[in-house]
Structure 1
């Protein structure tokens, strides 16, 4: 299993191989985990994470550093898995670049940069991993957001990248079915989760209690293992939101706007000469 997470220009990749079970077919049992985060935080925490992986049954674990802003590095991560362990049965894509919770200020360069990290690197990793995933009849798990299904204010660049993921991977799923490619695609539609970055970004402006990140992580892995089409988490908020999107879109829009404490949002100055 190869999974990514990313919140900064630099990142740390943690690679793990899991011991196969006795009844696993020869092509299974290969597990690779890449876990990029803030470099300083990861460098201090990675030894403990590696130790935890080994405690949970990993045959080996290590980490390498790089940046998911580079599609070339995204491809290198997959190559590292192939060269080290010779195969892959699950690819979990869960990394994002830094974004702002604010009115859109016209910064096209920021949108372009966010697309590189939040969308194009996903495509690059998927493309590189597909030969191995086809061989193992494996799974692709794309961690997205309700912001990629339903538009909300103050997240225009971020939402654009998530809508792009929805379109690309939904189209790719069709093509897999047409070509009889037995690789599953699971789209994880997440709401407000109590990760440190999410709480820091929106807790002062959103009237909602975040769902637990630990349970969310388990649900993501479970949905991929069960080859689900979509995961809605937390279901209590995500599923009704998607139903209202189709049944009463204007009513939903009003609910969304009423959920924000707009007075707590400091409007950024307009970008000057941005990428035109």
Structure 2
């Protein structure tokens, strides 16, 4: 069994190495270079989204009535755990990355419990499940963990480097304020736009450098946050359409998730990125071996 796991791990690791390691191709120019880099960018993005993609597909596959008498939410939890175990077993994900993803799961699940509580009820999970805790199915934390998984995998596959990263204590402070605002805005007012303005100032000079093929490319860090937030908002619309959860305005009939949620997801992506970047900074500072 160990030999089989090692062989599968070596095979999948070899595929990852092919995506990461590329010899220079100075002869590749013009439209041909654009096509090659665009295709490899898409492949790497798909690979980085492996956990999120497989989990998202399960939302379409698992019927609302469940499977073999097991409620849908419980089936989704089993699938999420199976995917996670498989990724570690095949060495597509390290144990340290798994620890970080568990942290995202805890952070996300705590937010879910608060948002679905009787006093708040920002959204709800209408179906029965054995694995509901405080009215929230345990699988829901994996939706937040999926964002963390994507950032961790993309960081490695694209050889991400951050230029002009703000002081880490300031970035952590803003990320913590963003997280607390998700709770506090129900009581003392919503300060997301003030926090967004603060984040814009903080990351105004920050650039993310990435390598889709054999040359470095770059884009503003803020643009990356906004784009990722947009795609999560699209995925959220699809999830609510399939009744994974409901917002109050979707109880009678489905409607598009309010565009304002795009800003919330963008801020959450920023918070998630800060956690990943800070963990990597701590590792580099104290020289923890990989």
Q: Same fold (TM over 0.5)?
A: no
Greater fraction helix: 2
Q: Which has the higher contact order (CA 8 A, sep 6+)?
A: 2
Larger radius of gyration: 2
Greater fraction strand: 1
What TM-score comes out, normalization by structure 2 length?
0.28
What TM-score comes out, normalization by structure 1 length?
0.29
